Chains A and B, each alone.
Chain A
């Protein structure tokens, strides 16, 4: 199995364009269903009224993060063929502060403004016009902005690199942080929850899903931990039930479960060429 399908040449450019169109369609549809076609709903998190933005975003990050780590860990996907985001720490913090300002003033972020414009929101159309103008301003000031644009260039840097933790442990920390934030925002301002009677609370589907995510995350911790301990040759019999899924297939591909920085490419892509949708540019 050679995934990512486009990057490894399993599907052509035309199929790639069709795929991204339909993925965009799903993305837009789900954003609309989450209520993100409304600036009032989007910004109400910043007035401590509605935590949907935090819940949707962190749930999506957790799902995609766990999926990526499992898929690359068990060898379904080539980690090296996935486009990695380069870090420009200063530029990204400055850009993030500015984007946060644009978000709260304008009411949208770029993706949600497209959904809102499609829902008939005239303010979203004004925001889209502003986006185009802002991009023009950036292009015009590109030379002048270079020091800021390149500020803090670090190449591909991940949290596991910086913290010196194995990726499974970072993923577990992210899951615990997300679940903690969900629990805090559910409990905060909800007078019907009496924490002193917490043990009598019914297990909701949401709590069950959160528990499942925590178990999955700790499966990664164990998987990466064992891969680190027994490398370069994996012990085939050393996979208990809980970690079998993440450890066993890796035994045929030594190095897959180790930290990305130390791991050589597990499978060389055909001809050594890995195609990227946008060469050299980080996508946005």
Chain B
């Protein structure tokens, strides 16, 4: 274990901290945490600027964009900004801010970036289909004992464990 690793918190302590944050979100707002929904808002905002006609007729995006709606004035966006800033504060104070494409010694940065983009694209579709991601469904819905959230969580673990072998090379 190197010095950067040793500055990670005990996972149970980090879990309690995240659990209390989630509970506070329930108490203060009546809703939990979420991350992927911010991308819908970003897309709706970009669509309004770059392709207003398409955005207004698109049956998904017009729920978020259009007259009288500001897709960026949304709780998901404020929260996403908070997550980003919180991550930045955490990385800087721990001395972990480093510009790099994280990869295995025998993998190339190009390969890693391509796989990251591909994984992100698949996740983008998946999170909208499931109406949430690991934050909104697994954590938030999981704590609420929602049936769909628990089914989602099991499916995530099942797929990731069974496909891990095929993409192992990016970490070797």
B-binding residues in A (CB < 8 A): 3-8, 11, 16-17, 19-35, 37-41, 43-44, 46-47, 51-52, 55-65, 67-68, 71, 76-77, 81-89, 91-124, 126-140, 142-143, 145, 148-149, 152, 154, 156-162, 167, 170-171, 174, 182, 206, 209, 274-278, 281-284
The complex places the Cα of A154 from the Cα of B149 at a distance, in Å, of 13
Number of interface residues of B (CB under 8 A): 124
Name the distance in Å between B62's Cβ and chain A's nearest Cβ: 10
The complex places the Cα of A111 from the Cα of B33 at a distance, in Å, of 10
Residue interface bits B98-138, CB-to-A below 8 A is 1, else 0? 11111100000100111111111111111111111111111
Asked if A95 and B129 sit within 8 Å, CB to CB, the answer is yes
The complex places the Cα of A215 from the Cα of B34 at a distance, in Å, of 30
The complex places the Cα of A98 from the Cα of B121 at a distance, in Å, of 10
Asked if B23 and A282 sit within 8 Å, CB to CB, the answer is no
Asked if A102 and B126 sit within 8 Å, CB to CB, the answer is yes
Question: What is the interface of chain B mostly: helix, strand, loop, or mixed?
Answer: helix
Residues in B154-172 with C-beta less than 8 Å from chain A:
154-161, 163-164, 167-168, 170-171
The complex places the Cα of A178 from the Cα of B61 at a distance, in Å, of 38
The complex places the Cα of A149 from the Cα of B131 at a distance, in Å, of 9
Question: Given the complex, which residues of A lie within 8 Å of B134, measured CB to CB?
Answer: 57, 99, 103, 109-112
Question: Given the complex, which residues of B lie within 8 Å of A20, measured CB to CB?
Answer: 25, 29, 75, 78-79, 82
Asked if A134 and B142 sit within 8 Å, CB to CB, the answer is no
Question: Given the complex, which residues of B lie within 8 Å of A22, measured CB to CB?
Answer: 82
